[in-house]
Amino acid sequence: MSIQIPVRVTSFMCVEFTSADHPEFDRAITLPQTAPMEWIIDAYLLSIGREPLENPDVDDDPDEHDERPRPDAETFAGWRRAMPTFDHRPEVIVRTVDAPPLGAPLVAASASTPSPATEGDWRTQTAPFREDDVNRELMRRHGVVMPFFTDRDMRDVDPRIRRSSRIATLLSALTPARRLALLAHIDAVGLLRETAPDRASVETAVAPIAGLLRQLGGKGAAQDPGTGWISAADAERLIRSLGWGGSPNEIHARGGALVAFARRAKLIRRLKGRIVATAHAKRLVQPARGTLAALGRMIGASTRERYGMPLPRRDAEGALALLAIADGTAHHLEELADQVAEGAVLFDDTDSIFASDRFDSILASGITHRVGDKSEEIARLTEDFASLSAPKQFGVVTPAMREVARCALV
């Protein structure tokens, strides 16, 4: 088995107490950076033979592993005020140190020179500093250095999968057995591969956008008086030039969808009464290694980017649609809605925020702009991918589409 949770220990600090007049009381106290002030004071008192102020319970350790900033000058002053009156006033220096080995005392004291052994009445004389004895006493009070782990250590289902990716969202939405099955499927279809797409795939994906840029030309096209964007007639002419035939209504709808995608992806803009291509669009149609990944970012944007927060069920269903394209399950974009409906049934078997639309609705209630019906998410993805259809193959899932979906997922 190759899985191993990394051993973690909290950060440690060394608090050095020095006194020019009484070097015999110089001490270094090593303890967690998260330790309360009382631990530091009591460890110092014990190290110079005084009784500690506190009498901690066995479970005194607050078990706080969150990192805190190193104590500052104000904290030092607080330590001094809290200390009992001495015949010396130590200076305090704090520095960060490496954590002691596991099993070592959690709080430990040391001195540059040990106290000499003295004879006398043990009942009244000051206890000498003998490092091992003092540290055993501190170990009785505070325990030893122990490892810990947090939910961060267990959150990754696979170290190759980014926690923020759409495929990670989908994996989180599944039951344990389905999650294992999907992980195996991810490897079987090569979803996490890092091979560069061939130039022909890139050219196929950007062909509709390239056609739009050719139609706009260097001077752009006049704005439609009604919509303020590309006129329906110009959009329909572009659809026919791509060979995306169909009924008049279908051609009209496809033209509108292509223009809407170009607007959302910021490929076109309005300038002095005309619609012109953006510099981003001009770069995008030049086939390059990162072209399909850029398209994936445009199309695969989660609800977090659109609404300012993730809507869990919608994000998971969108990931199902992307997966159906990426793994070749869907051969035509018309199949996406059914593929998503079949896959979303798996979410219903979980006891999580993905199990129903209820959590989405609660989150959406705080959003000022219209969210719309959840079916609009899949319709938007379908329209966006349709805008990457190859000439004369409207809606057919191409290798280029699969690569764009893969980039959007991972």
The ranges assigned to domains in the chain are 12-142, 166-195+289-409, 203-284
Give the sign of the dihedral formed by CA 328, CA 333, CA 335, CA 340.
positive
pLDDT at residue 134, rounded to an integer: 93
Q: Is residue 332 classed as helix, strand or coil in its secondary structure?
A: strand
In order along its 410 residues, the chain shows pLDDT tens digits of 566 777 788 899 999 998 888 888 899 999 998 888 889 889 999 999 888 877 665 444 445 555 555 566 566 666 666 666 666 778 888 889 999 999 999 999 999 877 776 677 787 888 888 999 999 999 999 999 998 876 665 666 777 888 889 999 999 999 989 999 999 999 999 999 877 778 888 888 899 999 999 999 888 899 988 889 999 999 999 999 999 988 999 999 999 999 999 998 899 999 988 999 999 898 888 888 888 888 998 887 777 777 777 888 999 999 999 999 999 999 999 999 999 999 999 998 888 888 888 888 777 776 656 666 778 889 989 999 999 999 999 999 999 999 999 999 99
Top CATH class, 203-284: mainly alpha
Rounded-to-10 torsion of CA 323, 324, 327, 333: -130
Query: pLDDT value at position 67?
Result: 56
Per-state percent for the chain, helix, strand, coil, to nearest 5 = 45, 10, 45
Cα separations (Å) of 170 from 175, 258, 285? 10, 28, 31
Residue 381 has what pLDDT? 92
Q: E strand or H helix at 275, and its extent?
A: strand 274-277
Which is nearest to 47 in space by CA: 119, 100, 115?
115
Cα–Cα distance for residue pair 100/139, rounded to 1 Å: 13
Nearest to 410 by CA among 202, 197, 192, 179: 192
User: Residue 237 has what pLDDT?
Assistant: 92
In the three-class reduction of DSSP (H, G, I as helix; E, B as strand; rest coil), residue 360 is classed as helix
